[in-house]
């Protein structure tokens, strides 16, 4: 089934990105939750690194294009969409999106399933969920990685997949038919920011589109990912633009 906003799109490196704003995405997701039966809708949050990976992996590219919504989680997508003549209006950070959804869920008493938190380490995942429920006491959060968990009779407003790029999208598509949930959302390390496991870039750096620099400085192992996002991605977009002419 096609969602209402899917006609407003940009296509970057053959990946569909929904051209919309945060307020509209929130409204669309809440409409999924409001349905009387589980919608099992899928929301991905691709950034420049995702599109570089998808450029070299057709299976991953096809997977991204199977979602109901792909929101632009990266300033690189915003800037280069304008270069391609398909301007995206706003970066929608997965961390900001999930924070707003959890605040709503806190008021509405949502049940939220969480998969892949803290790399699947059970003790750390349980600590994350504990911190999450302290911050959002109206939520019921369930660790879907817990051994012998029986999920057939559970019903969630939202399921959050936190495994990181590629793994979380594959997990969602593999498990969406097994879990009763209104919406499945891939968010990477978004919950780590909300629960204090990871320090997010200062607001000013985020506003300037320099969150990638902060991550590189905090974790030197991320510089390969930074290279893909700030060098390889623009090169591939420029190449696509030239070839299309």
Q: What is the pLDDT of residue 5?
A: 47
Token duo for residue 29: 């997701």
| CA atoms within 13 Å, Cβ hemisphere of 237 | 25
φ/ψ of 235, rounded to 5, equals -60, -45
Residue 2 scores a pLDDT above 50: no
Measure the CA–CA gap between 156 and 154, rounded to whole angstroms: 7
Q: What is the pLDDT of residue 40?
A: 94
Task: Name the residue ranges covered by the structural domains of the chain.
Answer: 4-244
Q: What is the pLDDT of residue 208?
A: 67
The rounded mean pLDDT for the chain is 89
Token duo for residue 84: 């391609």
Residue 214 scores a pLDDT above 80: no
Report pTM.
0.89
């Amino acid at each position: 089934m096609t969602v209402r906003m899917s006609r407003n799109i940009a296509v970057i490196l053959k990946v569909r990105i929904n051209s919309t704003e945060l307020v509209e995405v929130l409204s669309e997701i809440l409409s999924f939750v409001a349905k009387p039966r589980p919608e099992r809708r899928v929301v991905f949050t691709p950034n420049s690194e995702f599109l570089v990976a998808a450029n070299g992996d057709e299976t991953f590219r096809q997977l991204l294009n199977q979602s109901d919504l792909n929101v632009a989680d990266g300033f690189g997508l915003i800037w280069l969409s304008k270069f391609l003549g398909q301007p995206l209006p706003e970066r929608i950070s997965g961390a900001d999106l999930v924070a707003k959804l959890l605040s709503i869920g806190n008021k509405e008493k949502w049940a939220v399933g969480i998969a892949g938190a803290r790399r699947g380490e059970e003790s750390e995942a349980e600590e994350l969920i504990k911190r999450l429920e302290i911050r959002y006491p109206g939520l019921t959060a369930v660790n879907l990685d817990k051994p012998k968990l029986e999920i057939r009779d559970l019903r969630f407003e939202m399921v959050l997949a936190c495994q990181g790029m590629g793994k979380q999208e594959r997990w969602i598509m593999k498990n969406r038919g097994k879990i009763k949930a209104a919406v499945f959302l891939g968010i990477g390390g978004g919950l780590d920011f909300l629960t204090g496991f990871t320090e997010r870039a200062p607001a000013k750096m985020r506003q300037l589109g320099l969150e990638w620099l902060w991550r590189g400085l905090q974790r030197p192992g991320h510089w390969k990912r930074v290279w893909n996002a700030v060098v390889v991605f623009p090169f591939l977009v420029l190449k696509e633009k030239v070839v299309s002419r």
